[in-house]
Structure 1
Amino acid sequence: MLLYLGCAALVLLGLLFRHSYFLQDLKYVIDKLNVRRRVFKYMQTNYLIVDLFLERVKTQPHKPFLRFKEETFTYQDADVQSNKTARAFLQSGAVKRGDTVALFLANEPLFLWLYMGLVKIGCSAAFLNYNIRSKSMLHCFNCSGAKTLVAGEELLDAVEEVLPILQEQQVTVFILTDKCKIAGVQSFLDKMQQASSEPLSKELRSNLTLRGPAVYIYTSGTTGLPKAVTVSHAKLWAYCLIMAMTGVTSEDVVYNSLPLYHSAGFLGVMAGIERGMTVVLRSKFSASQFWDDCRKYDVTVVQYIGEIMRYLCNQPQKPNDRNHKVRLALGNGLRADIWKEFTRRFGNIDFKEFYGATEGNLAILNYSGKMGAVGRDFFLHKWLFPYALIKFDIEKGEPVRDSSGFCIEVAKGEPGLMVTQILASAPFSGYAGDLGQTEKKKLRDVFTKGDVYFNTGDLLRIDKDNFIYFQDRTGDTFRWKGENVATNEVADVVSGAESIEEANVYGVEVPGHEGRIGMAAVILRAGQKFESAAVFHQVQHFLPSYARPRFIRIQDSMEVTGTFKYQKVKLVKEGFNPNEIKDPLYILDEKEKNYVPLIPDVFDSILAGRIKI
């Protein structure tokens, strides 16, 4: 026995000596297995997050649950308000058990009271992006299967725009006001105020299961109309528990300025219930107010998406930049250079960067603190939660397959399409009302006959030290002169020029040429002119010739989604035609070693083939 123990100890020491991250890797796998075990246990007893919430109400009724502006709502307050919304829905006669109700409102406490009230009566919700209008709004509403719409007062104009069609579909429309004189629209706040706050019977939600839909959350729609992702109660649990894996406790105060219609924003609040902590909710992100809020509410944990941290770094420096209690930041899309600058300026905050998608069946976490990485490739994790990076043909828009018809894993350091195996323990629920799009996300016969993988649509790479990095989205990556160009990498280089604040890179078609060539829409820093020669030297120094943006478009502002993703479809369609684009345009001139104005004569010469690209 002692001999076996001694051998095991030697093996462990050897692994530790050769792999310095082994213990962290092992702990991460154990944590993920515990999450899986916990969700499975909840499935056996049909234990919902609202059940845990009601337990919190009993054990800590007076603890602050939500802070919003100057208001503080305890766990008991949240219970009372959600009981009133639940009863208002039932008494209206428009909502019955099993229905889906679409919520169309901005960040505010009532958003959460409405959602929890719906769950208490056995319903689900669809979260409509409050920025969408007309055709997109109707599309999102219809694919959820909802027959009731609840809208914020400030969105009444958007509702009126589509009201005739909603009335044709016999949709019940509530507006969050005390009174409403518009025919076909009912007020809701008066109904809620008149409703009882008494607890509701658990029997009312007995129809709900962990495999059933908890909420429909929409993709951003950057490449077309948004798709409704079916988020089950089990998946809601799994994502909430990501925060638990980062070391967040009930004593923490989390700051959430992300939109609640987005998965990260909503799950951040649900994770607050799971941890039994206080959540600070803001109506929308404000770079100028961020740190003042953190100090005001004694925030210890912040959530972020994409560009939020860059916006904070671009704010004027202040003497009290490090005067705060924030110890941890959880989110995704943080570039390594911004990570470094942020910690230099605001203090040694622990970043927990993760990678995942609302509809995805796997999330990975950067638990090691490696700047720029989204996780680590560990054999045990890969075996228990199967995924792979496979070769992808950018031009054909499909994976590369060998002579046997199977996909090919990429080598270390080479970007590859991230695919995750669909299993009973890692299901893919797809998109509501869109079987075609659901099927498109499935890759079959990837490594063996009959296997099925989820196509993330993202290119990642694994370096020699097994750190995983996000590269680009397959729709954003373009091919020029036989080379694949990752727009994120090019944007990082372009925005490194002193005169440029933001860069949005995409590929445009040039008549007579195969593939797409790089173009960058940029915003200049306040008070600065476009330093064309400096930008030329920046891209020449850091980028190979095929990746250098040939065209640059100067814009006053960037079109982004509610979660700060760049809108590229319109820019790609507009191309580089100076006869149609009013923004200043420039073209890279190798002879002049500069970016020079792109005038109509130059454009005509490109089309005629007199200027080689």
Structure 2
Amino acid sequence: MSFWVVGLVLAAGLCIAFLFRHPYFLQDVQHLLAKLNVKRRVLQYLKTNYTILDRFLESVETRPNKPFLRFKDETFTYQDADKLSNKAARVFLQSGLVKEGETVALFLGNEPMYPWLWLGLVKIGCSAAFLNSNIRSKSLLHCFDCSGAKTLVAAAELQDAVEEVLPSLLEQQVTVFILSDTCSNAAAQSFTDKMSQASSEPLSKELRSHLTLRSPAAYIYTSGTTGFPKAAVVSHAKLWNACLLVCLTGVTSKDVIYNTLPFYHSAGFFGFCSVIERGITVVLRSKFSASQFWDDCRKYNITVIQYIGEIMRYLTNQPKKLNDQSHTVRLAIGNGLRADVCRDFIGRFGNIQIREFYGATEGNFSLLNYSGKIGAIGRDTFLYKMCFPHAVIKYDIDEGKPLRDSSGLCIQAAKGEPGLLVAQISMTAPFSGYARDLQQTEKKRLHDVCKKGDVYFDTGDLVLVDKDNFIYFQDRVGDTFRWKGENVATTEVTDIMTLADCIKEANVYGVEVPGQEGRAGMAAVILREGQRFDSTGVFKHVAKFLPSYARPRFIRIQSSMDVTVTFKHLKMKLVEEGFNPNKLTDPLYFLDEKVQNYIPLTLDMFSSVTVGKIHI
């Protein structure tokens, strides 16, 4: 055997051994190259000011008759969408009230008019503030004021909510349009009537000549689970980054994507923009329905679905049907999917490829679970960290800030140790912050992380990197609480609680107990239909799977659970209400380790706990 043959055999053997030891290496490199290509494309678009709108107009030219959006029994082609958005743009222009570079607030639910309005605004060089259609009164005024808008467009069915704040809007000389043919209030104008009379001819590109990819394309609000929502600035460059991340999941131009998520939320809007990038068809639904979800998928021949938060769990909780696997869905894209729900979903609805991603509306960093590892949000490799600088750092739950060493720098978290995820802010990974809120913007900037003078974006998320470099979401910083000197991640406890046979849904949080350090764990739960609370079974379950300090000391049985539009559990009110039987009508239970059971929490027992007679 020649020297060269021996060399080739040895080289092949070394390669095989390396891949055996690092089985994800090729996937890691492939994904990194794809992300670098996205970065290269966005930098190229920055030079030419090439926007998502430009991509849309190209599709109008090349595929004018292809279905762009389907809603109920209506189908709109790319050409239809172009003409209708031209009409919407002209209403703004002809009113003489919307000037170059201004923002218009949109207050409506999912309907075709939403994309027509946004596309129309970009065509005339303006941006939109996406108001949550569920907010009212002070919250509505706050969100409107954050945007800096002087014009509001609202759905007809939201007219009552608008009229409630109309005096305040008129004081600010705000122009109010209602999406109806006529208006019951003389202070508002009909948008639909004006739009029907407007021309659908193309608009001059000069109207948006001032736009750059650094310009705001939209303002999308945080969920406001810990106070008033903040308006995150979404630039045209960020739009590209977001929709190209979705495209890395394997979506092709032949797909039909089902979007049940609200447009005023980043997942719904970014998903819509990825439809434009791929030149595909989107099926829009006004509101998510677990009972009609799969019927819609069959009706429209859906191949890609979007999810967020608890949507997948709602689907798996539906009664089983013989046709559960009779559909054309091949891919699911989203975030917030728990590992147990993922397994249940795949086992029930077939081998659908799950692509979990991680990213914040206002953030400058994203991850994608390209390997398909159940429960992970991505991988933490040396190469990825070098190209997209980020860190997982130690965090002090009690102090509410990162731990620092003697030189004032942050301390890297060890493998298997939860830490705060932060991402370096740079020219290629900017953080635009929040509209008209410099204080909140600065709060998200973390200085002197890895070296003096650097600046990182604080995601507010605790994650864990395991020995194989998989990254797992642990909890939001504000949700984690400390008890008995240990940090308790509410997400982890929630996952365990919902595996109990009688519990359908759980919301875990920490409550103050007089005389005790930290917060004691409490769980508000909803029982499965037709089931009673199995106190002994639940105790055995939490005792088996949770350490003593993480076991909920109190359980509250509820008939329904308050959630945000993205199905995140609302905790603040529950935390404030605590475990006082005098204030609550819901059944309350207390963990009694002596009898190894959850027992009903009586008034006498409550008093004994609060004065320290009963130690917890």
Is 1:525 paired with 2:519?
no
- Correspondence for 2:262 among 259, 264, 273: 259
**Structure 2 residue aligned with 1:78:** 81
User: Would you say 1:36 and 2:61 are equivalent positions?
Assistant: no
TM-score (norm 2): 0.98
My pick for the range that moved more, 538-547 or 3-12, is 3-12
Give the distance between the partners of 1:263 and 1:3, measured in 2 at CA: 56
2:555 matches 1:552: yes
Distance across 2 between alignment mates of 1:499 and 1:409: 40
Offset at 1:202? 0.4
Amino acid at match of 1:456: T
Give the 4+ runs in structure 1 shifted more than 4 A: 1-14
What residue is the counterpart of 1:179 in the other structure?
182
Mapped partners of 1:296, 1:583: distance in 2: 42
- Give the equivalent residue in structure 2 for 1:368: 371
Alpha-carbon separation, structure 2, partners of 1:55 and 1:61: 9
1:16 Cα shift? 2.1
Which deviates the most, 469-478 or 528-537? 528-537
Aligned partner of 1:148 in structure 2 is 151
* Map of 2:69 onto structure 1: 66
Q: How far 1:15 moved relative to its partner? A: 3.5
Which residue identity does 2:484 align to in structure 1? K
- Asked if 1:110 is matched to 2:106, the reply is no
CA distance in structure 1 between the aligned counterparts of 2:289 and 2:454, rounded to whole angstroms: 46
- 1:578 is matched with 581
Gap runs ≥5 in structure 1: none
Match of 1:569 in 2: 572
What is the rounded CA distance, in whole Å, between the counterparts of 2:600 and 2:17 in structure 1? Answer: 61
CA distances 1:233-282 after superposition (whole Å, capped 9, x unpaired)? 00000101012211111000000000110001011111001000000111
Deviations 1:124-178 (A, max 9, x none): 0000001111111111110111000101111111111111110111111111100
**Residue 401 of structure 1 pairs with residue 415 of structure 2:** no
Q: 1:211 & 1:15 partners in 2: Cα distance?
A: 43
Matches within 5 A, 1:328-347: 328-347=331-350
1:297 is the counterpart of 2:300? yes
Q: Write out per-residue CA displacement over residues 410-448 of structure 1, whole angstroms, 9 at most, x where no aligned residue.
A: 111111100111111101110111100010111101111
Tell me by how many angstroms 1:189 deviates: 0.2
Instruction: Name the aligned partner's letter for residue 93 of structure 1.
Output: G
Q: Which residue of 2 aligns with 1:322?
A: 325
Q: CA deviation at 1:181?
A: 2.6
Distance change (3 Å), C-alpha of 1:214 and 1:7: farther
Structure 2: distance between partners of 1:445 and 1:342: 43
Q: CA deviation at 1:583?
A: 1.2
TM-aligned CA deviation for residue 183 of structure 1: 2.8
Deviation at 1:92, TM superposition (A): 1.4
C-alpha distance in 2 between matches for 1:542 and 1:17: 33
Equivalences for residues 132-147 of structure 1 within 5 A: 132-147=135-150
AA aligned to 2:182 is K
Unmatched segments (≥5 aa) in structure 2:
none
> What amino acid maps onto 1:237 in structure 2?
W
Kindly state the Cα deviation for residue 6 of structure 1 after the two structures are TM-superposed. Answer: 10
Report what 1:452 is aligned to. Answer: 455
Q: Count matched residues.
A: 613
> Does 1:206 pair with 2:209?
yes
For residue 439 of structure 2, give the secondary structure of its aligned residue in structure 1: helix
2:602 is aligned to: 599
Residue 201 of structure 2 aligns to a residue in which SS?
coil
Hey, what does 1:461 align to over in structure 2? 464
What is aligned with 2:543?
540
Matched, 1:48 2:22: no
2:315 is equivalent to residue 312 of structure 1: yes
Report what 1:278 is aligned to. Answer: 281
Q: Secondary structure in 2 aligned to 1:89?
A: helix
| Identity percentage of aligned residues | 71
Structure 1 residue 431 corresponds to structure 2 residue 434: yes
For 1:507, the equivalent position in structure 2 comes to 510
Residue 24 (structure 1) aligns with: 27
**2: distance between equivalents of 1:331 and 1:178?**
37
The answer to whether residue 220 in structure 2 is matched with residue 217 in structure 1 is yes
Give 1:473's match in structure 2, choosing from 464, 470, 476.
Answer: 476
3-state secondary structure, aligned to 2:26: helix
Q: Which residue of 1 aligns with 2:248?
A: 245
- Partners of 2:552 and 2:136 lie apart in 1 by 33
Q: CA deviation at 1:18?
A: 2.2
Q: Residues 286-337 of structure 1, C-alpha deviation per residue, up to 9 Å, x if partnerless?
A: 0000100000000000000011011000011101000001000000011111
Q: Which amino acid aligns with 1:127?
A: F
The residue number in structure 1 matching 2:128 is 125
**Aligned with 1:502: secondary structure?**
strand
TM-fit CA distance, 1:527: 1.5
Moved more, 440-449 or 599-608: 599-608
RMSD of equivalent CA atoms: 1.5
TM superposition score normalised by structure 1:
0.98
Q: How much has 1:14 moved relative to structure 2?
A: 5.1
The AA in structure 2 aligned to 1:228 is A
Distance, in Å, in 2 between the alignment partners of 1:2 and 1:379 is 33
